[in-house]
Amino acid sequence: MKLRERLDATDGRPSVTRASRREVLAAALGLAAAGALGDAKAAGEDADSPPNVPPWQKQPGASVMSPPYGQPSPFEAGVIRRARNNSPPSPTPQASISLTPLQDLHGIITPNGLHYERHHAGVPAIDPSQHRLLIHGLVDRPMIFTMGEIMRFPSVSRLHFLECSGNTQNWGKPSPTQTVQDTHGLLSCCEWTGVPLKTVLEAVGVKTSARWMLAEGADAAAMTRSIPIEKAFDDALLAYAQNGERLRPEQGYPLRLLLPGFEGNTSVKWLRRLKFGEAPWQTREETSKYSWLMPDGSARQFNFVMEAKSVITSPSGGQRLDGPGFHEISGLAWSGRGRIARVEVSADGGNTWSDAALQEPVLPKCLTRFRSPWRWQGEAAQLASRCTDETGVVQPSHETLLQQRDARSYYHYNAIQNWRVGVDGAVTHAG
């Protein structure tokens, strides 16, 4: 696909979708106007391709450290987080979401600047020298830790996905123009570094009567969730770094809780306090929100685990196949219960399935990249993926999920995603 088509297909920002290749290049070179590349224009779009030698080979390029913190190529300016298309804008941009551009990512790691966001009262600007973690309640010794002290504990690094509880709102009729960024973009995956929470809890001595842990953020919402004690002593992490650098402010700098496999909201950012008690606190985020309204009228709380789920990211909604022939089907699969064991792919709307190849590493509670070769003959097609995790959970169809609960439950939609491919190669969201 040519650059301009690719930008058109993948980017939601009009200012960039309309930018021509020459304009982007001119911006990259710091030229005042695209006209400075007049020769290239006269010679046409392929002026810099063989047999011609392009200008970037005829003079030295940019210096080292330009800039000191490296940035993506200007040609990738369209690969950004954004709000959901076809959704009303949030009245409070501080209490809102931004979506990861899954269609533009490769492998399983989400670059830090593209990790999805969900904040309840904005991103606090925290001075790490002033930040403290207080641990109290049913403990032998209530304690306060500085960031320096937390970072002196033995540390670990682990790759885990985070998925917002409300990711994928496919309960109703699909909006055909939605992309995978719209449908699945509240999903990211990083290498997280920090201290196993268990290590610190052993230092404070949690009493045996404690059954639940309250985690509280230092943001303006003082966001709180009650966490089962089993999770706190299992694989919970006090994370202070992601993908090799300290947490980004929007990911909880300087310290966040990370609960692998649990709904994203429970991995409390800007973590300032852990309190131990005998019962859940029934906070607003586990009663009014993040509870499932079930078909029988009951409200089901504490639905922590993000179940087996997968999605094809290429080809996906908003893209256009540039002609019949070979196209690799590629996507992501994950489960909050462990490793992905199998991913199947269908090109005929689920009538026939074939196994996709799983890219190593296949890690527990982590995104797994799958790939499957496909030769498109130019016919109408419907692409779908279906995963199975190592505990045997199979990703359900839309119809199967709706037999259990419906749009009123809102959260944890994990059914199979379908992408329709038209005879013109256009890919649209088919629910």
Q: Can you give the binding site for other proteins, defined by CB under 8 A?
A: 91-92, 94-95, 120-121, 134-136, 141-146, 149-150, 152-154, 199-200, 202-205, 214, 216, 220-224, 228, 230, 272-273, 275, 277, 279, 281-284, 287-288, 291-293, 296-305, 307, 337, 391-394, 396-397, 400, 404, 408
CB 126 within 8 A of CB 254: yes
Where does residue 33 rank: exposed (0-12), middle (13-18), buried (19+ CB within 10 A)? exposed
Question: Which residues on neighbouring strands pair with residue 120, listed in sequence order?
Answer: none
Q: Least distance (Å) from other proteins to the CB of residue 77? A: 32
Q: What angle do CA 406, 165, 366 make, to 5 degrees?
A: 120
Q: Least distance (Å) from other proteins to the CB of residue 165? A: 12
Task: Count the Cβ atoms, other than its own, within 10 Å of residue 370.
Answer: 26
Query: Whose Cβ is closer to other proteins: residue 52's or residue 298's?
Result: 298
Q: Name the pairing type of β-strands 187-196 and 418-421.
A: unpaired
Query: Whose Cβ is closer to other proteins: residue 314's or residue 409's?
Result: 409
Q: Least distance (Å) from other proteins to the CB of residue 97? A: 16
CB 180 within 8 A of CB 102: yes
Query: Whose Cβ is closer to other proteins: residue 28's or residue 222's?
Result: 222
Query: Whose Cβ is closer to other proteins: residue 71's or residue 404's?
Result: 404
| Side chain identity, residue 401 | L
Query: Whose Cβ is closer to other proteins: residue 265's or residue 283's?
Result: 283
In this structure, what token pair is assigned to residue 94? 């501080």
Q: Least distance (Å) from other proteins to the CB of residue 56? A: 50
Q: Least distance (Å) from other proteins to the CB of residue 391? A: 6
Please name the helix (run of DSSP H) or strand (run of DSSP E) that holds residue 274, with its range, or none: strand 271-277
Q: What single-letter DSSP state applies at residue 208?
A: T
Query: Whose Cβ is closer to other proteins: residue 179's or residue 226's?
Result: 226
| Cα maximum dimension of the chain | 78
Q: Please give the backbone phi and psi of residue 23, each rounded to the nearest 5 degrees, phi first.
A: -65, -40
Q: Least distance (Å) from other proteins to the CB of residue 151? A: 10
